[in-house]
Amino acid sequence: MAWLQIVLGGLVIIVSISSLFRFYSAGFFLHNEDICKHFYAVIPEKNKEVHEGFDIKALSDQVGEVLNKMESLQEKLELAVQQMEKNKEQLEKTNITRLEHKKYLEQEVIRPLYYAHIALRQIRLPKPEGLRNSTMKEDPLINTFVTEEIRKYITPKENRVGKINVYGTERIFNTIGHSCVLYKKELEQYMDYDIGSYCNDDWNLAQKLMVNGCDPLPRRRCLTRASKVYQKPYPINESLWKIPDDRNVRWSNYHCRNFKCLSSTNPKRGYSKCTGCFEMEKEKLKWVTNSSLPIDFLINDVLAIKHGEIRIGLDFGVGTGSFAARMREKNVTIITAALNLGAPFNEMIALRGLVPLYVTLNQRLPFFDNTMDLIHTAGFLDGWIDLLLMDFMLFDWDRILRPGGLLWIDRFFCNRKDLDDFMYMFLQFRYKKHKWAISPKSKDEVYLSALLEKPPRAI
């Protein structure tokens, strides 16, 4: 009898949710406005704008997920009853103990019902009364995610009542990259932790999310792991050109387990860009010794063009900070953009006493307009890059370079036949050409280096 009641109860819930769903899905064939009317037939017309921008798809996905949960619960219960029916005689002979009964109820009925209930509760509907003076009452992204920590993160944080914050706004939006929606599963895994406890050792999952466009990533409220045997770094008069202590890196997510293993002679070093970058003898030669190729400019020659004027800049490429180290010796402060593509590039730069900037290509650079004296780029932008992407990036670089600032394109390379396209990209800004050199790289590829100066702009 008890079974029958449970099954009937389940059915009632399912039927009621299905009809709810039908009510929602009916909206799909109507225009936006009509959907709102369907949803909120009771809400007066003047509040209509409240629901614009509300993500119906995310909502229906959520409802769909709950429905699936209910459906599988129903199937499971029905199957159990069928089994009992089959073994009727046995059933009459053997009593199931009360303990077994309780366990079954807890595990197979109450728990799935509970999760379905929570999932339903989590669905956010716009509040008719709204939040203070905002026109957008709910962030449409919120329904996309089930993990509570992600939902908390992306919920706009209202200032405490009656206050305007330092930015002069009423609330703070924590942002995440829009492709986080595409990597929902990975993001939910990333955000699955106990608040205040240790995070998983998963920087590589985080970086995978970032390079795939889930960037910015949400912040986390767990403690990041660190090397157990972290040593104090070398003093700055030694650290610039010294391979750091192996103990200061957590190696568990790299192929290598120490810096020596990252040598270009090791085929199993685990990374392919900037292969000699972890060998200081090689790094020490860059930008200070004459090479046989005209595309290699010397730091002294570049700085001489703007004597004393180059003080701060950005190095955008793949490297371990040797450019910034050399420039530091010239009293120029360089920030080095780096990702950990198979090797501890960020750790290395920081341990040398230089500033690593952990950014991907996805984002507008976090510098204000007309602020940088120099942008140096090497080993990164080359023939693979989409021209439109490159165009957006070059305009962003132009934005942050100050008038009279230098753009140093260092050993850009591409297919010979694409050279004209790229040359056009670099020349479109009408910068003053201080240096310009092209050398063959291989049969089909060429190198291009250029030193260009952003002109003053009258408007």
Ligand X SMILES: *[C@@H]1O[C@H](CO)[C@@H](O)[C@H](O)[C@H]1NC(C)=O
Nearer to ligand X, 25 or 87 (CB): 87
Among 5, 19, 90, 94, binds ligand X (CB under 6 A): 94
Q: Would you list the DSSP string of 350-406? A: HHTT-EEE---TTS--SS-TT-EEEEEEESSSSTTS-HHHHHHHHHHHHHHEEEEEE
Residues 6+ apart with CB under 8 A from 436: 449, 450, 451
Taking CB under 6 A as the binding criterion, the range among 195-203, 233-241, 243-251, 438-446 that sits at the site for ligand X is 233-241
Among 156, 179, 173, 184, CA closest to 360: 179
By the rule CB under 6 A, 133 interacts with ligand X? yes
Shortest distance (Å) from residue 396 CB to ligand X: 30
Residues 6+ apart with CB under 8 A from 379: 273, 274, 317, 318, 319, 410, 411
Shortest distance (Å) from residue 155 CB to ligand X: 19
By the rule CB under 6 A, 135 interacts with ligand X? no
Burial 104-118 (b: 16+ CB within 10 A, else e): eeeeebeebbeebee
Shortest distance (Å) from residue 45 CB to ligand X: 18
CA distance linking residue 373 with residue 334, whole number of Å: 10
Shortest distance (Å) from residue 365 CB to ligand X: 27
By the rule CB under 6 A, 235 interacts with ligand X? yes
Give the contact letters, 191-220, x = binds to ligand X (CB under 6 A), - = no.
------------------------------
Shortest distance (Å) from residue 329 CB to ligand X: 6
Nearer to ligand X, 76 or 328 (CB): 328
Taking CB under 6 A as the binding criterion, the range among 193-201, 212-220, 232-240, 248-256 that sits at the site for ligand X is 232-240
Residues 6+ apart with CB under 8 A from 318: 273, 274, 277, 338, 339, 341, 345, 378, 379, 380
Shortest distance (Å) from residue 336 CB to ligand X: 19
Nearer to ligand X, 93 or 430 (CB): 93
By the rule CB under 6 A, 93 interacts with ligand X? yes
Tally of CA atoms within 13 A in the half-sphere of 6 that contains its CB? 21
By the rule CB under 6 A, 290 interacts with ligand X? yes
Nearer to ligand X, 127 or 132 (CB): 132
Shortest distance (Å) from residue 255 CB to ligand X: 32
Among 331, 333, 363, 428, binds ligand X (CB under 6 A): 331
Shortest distance (Å) from residue 301 CB to ligand X: 9
Among 4, 289, 368, 457, binds ligand X (CB under 6 A): 289
Among 19, 90, 97, 237, binds ligand X (CB under 6 A): 237
For the chain, what is the total number of helices (H) and then of strands (E)?
A: 16, 9
Beta bridge partners of 314: 335, 375
Compute CA 60 distance to the chain's CA centroid, rounded to the nearest angstrom: 26
Q: SS3 of 410, please?
A: strand
Nearer to ligand X, 222 or 305 (CB): 305
Beta bridge partners of 86: none
Contact of 427 with 454, CB cutoff 8 Å? no
Among 306, 326, 305, CA closest to 315: 326
By the rule CB under 6 A, 95 interacts with ligand X? yes
Q: For binding to ligand X (CB under 6 A), which residues are involved?
A: 93-95, 132-133, 235, 237-238, 289-290, 330-331
